[in-house]
Structure 1
Amino acid sequence: MLTYRYHIVNVFAEAPLTGNALAVFEYAYEMSDELMLALAQQMNLSETTFIQHSDKAHAKVRIFTPGGEMPFAGHPVLGSAEVISRLKGGQDLMTLETKAAIVPLWFRDSRWTLQVRAATLRRPAASNSQLASMLSLPVADLKANSFFVDSGNEQLLIRVGSRESVTRCQPRPEEMLQHAANRFGLAKVYVWHRDREQITARYFAIVNGMLIEDPGTGSAAANLGGWLYAHKQVPTRTVIAQGDQIGRPCRIYLEVDENGRVFVGGRVMPQGMGEIRI
């Protein structure tokens, strides 16, 4: 019988039992892809990560949802950094290898921050009217310049005119599959509104045929940084409020400098640990 040790951490959390939960398996060097997927399905969280050896960075992080592996996601990388730091006695500066890129991270002011690669943008084929219908919103609620943005995890970003519009949106799964599928055929939508120095956002995806809402999405925050740079709304420093509508409030710190460098951060709170025996 083999024993695998894991940690549960909450990322983007400002208080216990908030934020976006993550399971992190330590020392997953000999795990097969099939076993990692099975363990992610067993944990049944939005993502589960597996720490492995890397010749290019301090560690490699494999990221799995219950449906499969992801090249990059923000909250799994930040949460894994906290676990790796604890395993290494408090390391506060590191690089982590993901399938998308080598990600630099550091711990400062009680939160972990990562830097992402430059984003690419492309316009969706759908009209504003079609996107509004997809979100069950009046077309007047949508602002211009919806884009697919990719800084490691391509998603459709849709800007709306008010926080109330963010709260009211109710995506239609069949229309998401038609209008919000990225270049890999995965339907992912990030709806956001900026009010001075705070952004309100919600993130939706179709996973295994079901509509899910993620409480705190670091990759989407990174993509938003790319959007802000492309639209010359930099330098900027802001906080993204996400997850309140589903009872898991997250606060994501986003900074974009005048050179287009995007930094995403948040607090990581350890909540527990355990073992799985197979």
Structure 2
Amino acid sequence: MTSYPFHLINMFAERRLGGNPVVVFTTAEMPDEQTRQTLAYQMAVAETAFISNTDTLVHVHSPQYALPFSSQALLSAAEATHPNEIGLAAQVFKTHLGETWLLRQGDRWWNQMNTPHTRQSIHSALEIAEALALNPKDIVGRPLFVDCGLEQLIVQVKSQQSVLQANPQPQGLAKLAQSSKNLPQAAVWCRDDNQITLRFFSCDAFTVYEDFGSGTGAASIAGWLLASGQSAPFSLRIEQGHTIHRLVSRLSVILVEVDENRVIRVGGNAHRVGGGVIEL
């Protein structure tokens, strides 16, 4: 029997029982991919991260599949492995996309993101609106695919009511947001000055998943703004999760800073709320 210690982190949480739950396994040796996927399915949170005691490479899994990159998983891994850091402290973690810097400032961890790359969607605004169950007149600007680690379709709409209206189905979302790099993912968001309301969707062949907190999606919004003519520097406060149509919802607050060199950093509060050991 092998033991796998884990930490439960609430990421992007303004309070301990807010934000998005992420599990971080800290193991003596990295388990194989099948074991990691089994553990991720068992934990049943949006994302589960794995990091060994002898390496800084972070593996990330959803309950159903592996992910090449996740900002919230990296931030959660930083909190799980360096819980006593105070003040200003920087750590380097590795992902399948290379090294990434994480910086602690006070109570927040920040992740410096990859330079965003963009491409236009081949679908018309009408097709995008139909796939997301939106009114075509509600779409603002030009939908773009943005890649800050994961490629995502970024769609700005004119109001919070439009954000709430979004209701993609698996077949439509798969066609709309198809990517050669990762499973289809799309962000629907609106802006009121520097305050943003975000809903973030991904899908497989059967199900649409909605995330309570997507740091990579937040970075992609900043990339969309830069590609759409926004001058740097600027900062954003992104609220997510409270708009999910469930009996119980949770608020995630994601902070984005873009400096004068157009470097994007994503940050938020992380709270370790528990942990334990899984035995297999």
Q: TM bucket by the smaller chain?
A: over 0.9
Following TM superposition, where does structure 1 have runs of at least 4 consecutive aligned residues deviating by more than 6 angstroms? Answer: none
Q: Which runs of 5+ in 1 are unaligned?
A: none
For the residues of structure 2 that align with 1:129 and 1:212, how far apart are their CA atoms?
23
Q: Which runs of 5+ in 2 are unaligned?
A: none
- Residue 123 of structure 1 corresponds to 120
Alignment of 1:1-278 (within 5 A): 1-52=1-52, 59-86=56-83, 89-90=84-85, 92-184=89-181, 186-207=183-204, 209-233=206-230, 234-246=232-244, 247-278=249-280
1:78-122: per-residue Cα shift (whole Å, max 9, x none)?
A: 011001102xx5373201101122110111131100101101101
Residue type matched to 1:82 in 2? E
Distance 1:229-1:26 versus aligned 2 partners, 3 A rule: same
SS in 1 for 2:23: strand
Residue type matched to 1:124 in 2? S
* Percent sequence identity over aligned pairs: 34
Does the CA-based 8 Å contact 2:25-2:49 persist in structure 1?
yes
Residue type matched to 1:239 in 2? R
Distance 1:178-1:185 versus aligned 2 partners, 3 A rule: farther
User: Over aligned residues, Cα RMSD in angstroms?
Assistant: 1.5
Question: How far 1:219 sits from its partner (Å)?
Answer: 0.7
1:96-150: per-residue Cα shift (whole Å, max 9, x none)?
A: 1011221101111311001011011011111000111111111100012101110
TM-score, L = length of structure 2: 0.93
For the residues of structure 1 that align with 2:134 and 2:196, how far apart are their CA atoms?
19
Q: Which moved more, 1:27-36 or 1:264-273?
A: 27-36
Distance 1:141-1:80 versus aligned 2 partners, 3 A rule: same
Question: How far 1:225 sits from its partner (Å)?
Answer: 1.7
Does the CA-based 8 Å contact 2:30-2:51 persist in structure 1?
no
* Paired residue total: 273
Q: Which moved more, 1:165-174 or 1:211-220?
A: 165-174
Question: How far 1:231 sits from its partner (Å)?
Answer: 2.2
Question: How far 1:207 sits from its partner (Å)?
Answer: 3.6
Does the CA-based 8 Å contact 1:82-1:268 persist in structure 2?
yes
Residue type matched to 1:32 in 2? D
For the residues of structure 2 that align with 1:105 and 1:145, how far apart are their CA atoms?
31
Does the CA-based 8 Å contact 1:156-1:182 persist in structure 2?
no
SS in 2 for 1:192: strand
Q: Which moved more, 1:24-33 or 1:243-252?
A: 24-33
TM-score, L = length of structure 1: 0.94
For the residues of structure 2 that align with 1:197 and 1:119, how far apart are their CA atoms?
20
Does the CA-based 8 Å contact 2:242-2:251 persist in structure 1?
yes
Distance 1:20-1:203 versus aligned 2 partners, 3 A rule: same
Question: How far 1:53 sits from its partner (Å)?
Answer: 5.6
Residue type matched to 1:145 in 2? R
Residue type matched to 2:270 in 1? V
SS in 2 for 1:244: coil
Question: How far 1:16 sits from its partner (Å)?
Answer: 2.1
Question: How far 1:54 sits from its partner (Å)?
Answer: 6.5
